[in-house]
Amino acid sequence: MEEIINSPEYKLLEPYLFVISLAFLGFLILLIVVCWQLRSSLIKIKAENRCIHPEQVWLLLLPFFNIYWNFVVARKFSDSLNNEFFDKKVAVEENPAFKNGNIFAWSFLALNFPLPGFVFFIIFILSSISLLLYSLKIREFNRLLEQDYTDFD
């Protein structure tokens, strides 16, 4: 451990460790917010229209398993929204939120490859932005689910 701390590579990285730690903490907090949003949206969807149980989205916080589970959640959440909006006869885009979820899943997959630092940094930024956009899309559909469409029947 002592030789790592005294190595020249560590000395170059040392001033940036706090910023790097904050970036990863921010990413984790955003991922927790997305899980919470997904769960609250799935709760508003009728049980017969759900393709995934609301509590299963918390599996996105498990390291390594979440690489695969991001793809599953993106597909099943989109299918659940499709089913719910079809029942309510609400016109929405085809495969709602799937594109944003899939982009995040692929960028997160790329983030887990051993890459040079600069490439990792670029992919981390892209993954963070795609997670933020996915969060905003989930929020948009969450608000749409809260609306009462019984007036249109």
Q: What is the pLDDT of residues 52-86, one digit of tens each?
A: 999 999 999 999 999 999 999 999 999 999 999 99
Q: What is the pLDDT of residues 91-143, one digit of tens each?
A: 888 899 999 999 999 999 999 999 898 999 999 999 999 999 999 999 999 99
Q: How many alpha carbons lie under 13 Å from residue 61 in its C-beta half-sphere?
A: 15
**Per-residue pLDDT, 6:** 76
Answer whether 60's CB lies under 8 Å from 69's CB. yes
Domain boundaries, the chain: 2-148
**Per-residue pLDDT, 81:** 94
Report pTM.
Answer: 0.85
From residue 64, how far is each of 44, 57, 139 by CA, in Å?
29, 15, 26
- Burial class from Cβ neighbours inside 10 Å (0-12, 13-18, 19+) for residue 56 reads middle
